[in-house]
A and B are shown apart, each in its own frame.
Chain A
Amino acid sequence: MMPPTVVKPPAVMNAPLLQVRGLQVEFDRQPAVRDVSFDLFAAETVALVGESGAGKSTVARAVLRLVQPARGSVEFSGLDLLKAPPAVMRAQRRDLQIIFQDPLASLNPRMTIGDAIAEPLVIFEPELTAVERRQKVAGILQRVGLSADMASRYPHEFSGGQCQRIGIARATVLRPKLLVCDEAVSSLDVSIQGQIINLLLDLQQDMGMAMLFISHNLAVVRHISHRVMVMYRGELVEVASCEALFTAPVHPYTRALLAAVPRMPPIAAASFAGDA
């Protein structure tokens, strides 16, 4: 397999926020992720694409230490997370957040959404008073496009798009440095998908967080990513700037993936671009 080309975004010259080297994850001694290395910079959006079973989510989970890698290193703000003792790792978790594909399943059905969003604050900012916590929850609810009086409601009272906003509120209330979005908009309708992505981009601008954006929707990835990493059978087969990947894909698998995307008729596409 062709070695991946490492392209750094031109704007970013500082040290990377996240440095993954030689990451290997095995299930039953079978490698699910092989020798994956990449950098992620503050305020950068890097997409991870590839088919089901390629290992995209496993990479993300290994980075967050939700699965234990067999080999490799994950350096986050200069600290190797894989070697960090439990107490140190726990302290890091406020800066490492994730949102999932099924927003309703990610919320505790018996907890009001206000309590769900307050939970990270209870854990990581215990010095806050109840009033201060309520204010923070109200603030983030408004920031994600919901209203503060919704805090007393339960997850089942919300639509899929609203649940994803709640998931985002919970994940960003601590202003994390890294947000993993694991197929975060895949189950949403196209009209709602744009709203959620724009919200993520706004929050990124506010907070300067890096985003690892796992998706199989290449059209979405094309608009929002700085760089794209293509995974195939557990390996990174191409890493390129978004521009380069979509105009001149190098790896045959990337080309096959792009060719499989169903296309809109050119006239509809053109009128869309003109209106935007």
Chain B
Amino acid sequence: MVVPILNVDELSIRYADRSRALEAVAGASLRIAPQECVGVVGESGSGKSQLFLAAMGLLAGHARVTGSIRFAGDELLGAKAAALNRVRGSKLSMIFQDPMTSLTPHLRIGTQLAEVLVCHLGVSWTEARSAAGRMLERVQLTDPKRRLNQYPHELSGGMRQRVMLAMSLLCRPDLLIADEPTTALDVTVQAQILEVLRAVRSETGMALVLISHDFAVIAGLADRILVMYAGRIVENAAADELLRRPRHPYSAELLKCVPSLSGPRLARLPTLAGQPPQPGEALQACPFAPRCPRAADRCRLERPALAGSSMSQVACHFPLS
């Protein structure tokens, strides 16, 4: 069997203060195969960003993390910063929603990009700068030569996200984690960024984790979709399957909430009643039970485990068939 590029086992992330403990991620396990594109959906606070920030070693200092995260077979949790730095930023890369705060405001674009190659691959600054220019062209940034000499504030949001993308791709990562990469962008720019991601993937075979709360963004790229709710993975299935025949009631309800561009116009939008549980709430029951149209007594007493084959898993006592 192929070694997964990312193998997360029983990962839990807790934040504790004197009065209470919050569980941001609760016993999540997942595998990502080389070259695979996995979409991760869930509402704010579902733990989707936390899970992957843990892989990058970017959680806040007081986070208590248990479990295991292996990248190409090597354990990342508890690894020393020096060991982590050999992997992250080069073989394992991440881009974020807000490209303004991800760039250093007082350094030229060219310097910030070249630095990645100088640090990770030890190439000369001249060489690194010309590679940076080529990568800006690759992500279809207009006028790449001029951009190298500009500062982040001189660029639009879409341009900055292209710069971030170029930066994350410079060392040819085996896995790119893209956390809401297009959420802050216009639809037209979003479409272009997604197209660049698609092209890079087909060219380099890079694996991609695409975190989004927008099913439509994920639908166009992902091979497989993970749905997270209240810190847990509640469904894991092939993208086509999940979008056509969701098995977890939460996935199904969330899909119904996506306003459509076709079909009849609706007088009222479909909604999911209620709110997700607060992260501090102790949950013996299924966390979705209070909002679930299929909930029965068992759901309020016993937490369902994620079960099924590795290609189709659901954490529900009464999944849709």
A residues touching B (Cβ–Cβ < 8 Å)? 51-53, 159-161, 189-195, 197-198, 201, 216-220, 222-224, 242-243, 246, 256-273, 275-276
Contacts and interface: CB of A to CB of B under 8 A. Distances in A.
Contacts of A224: 269
B62 interface: no
Given A194-B269, A194-B271, A272-B256, A222 B189 contact: no
* The 10 nearest A-B residue pairs measured at CB: A273-B263, A194-B271, A194-B269, A191-B272, A219-B259, A262-B216, A51-B186, A260-B191, A189-B43, A268-B243
Nearest to B268: A198
Interface residues of B, number: 42
B257 A191 contact: yes
Interface of B: 43-44, 156-157, 186-191, 194, 213-217, 219-220, 240, 243-244, 253-272, 275
A257 B271 CA distance: 26
Contact of B269 (A220, A256, A271): A220
Given A267-B244, A272-B260, 20 more contacts: A52-B186, A191-B43, A191-B271, A193-B269, A194-B272, A198-B271, A216-B186, A217-B259, A220-B269, A224-B269, A258-B261, A260-B187, A260-B190, A261-B187, A265-B219, A268-B215, A268-B244, A268-B255, A272-B256, A273-B262
Contacts of A268: 215, 219, 243-244, 255
Nearest to B242: A268
Contacts of A195: 271
B264 A273 contact: yes
A219 B261 contact: yes
Q: Which of B244, B256, B264, B267 has the most CB of A within 10 A?
A: B256
A189 B216 contact: no
Nearest to A190: B257
16 contacts: A52-B156, A161-B275, A191-B43, A194-B272, A198-B271, A216-B187, A218-B187, A218-B261, A260-B190, A261-B216, A264-B219, A265-B219, A265-B244, A269-B262, A272-B263, A276-B270
A251 to B, nearest CB: 14
B182 to A, nearest CB: 9
Contacts of B256: 272, 275-276
A190 B214 CA distance: 8
B189 A190 contact: no
A192 B187 CA distance: 21
Contacts of A257: 187-188
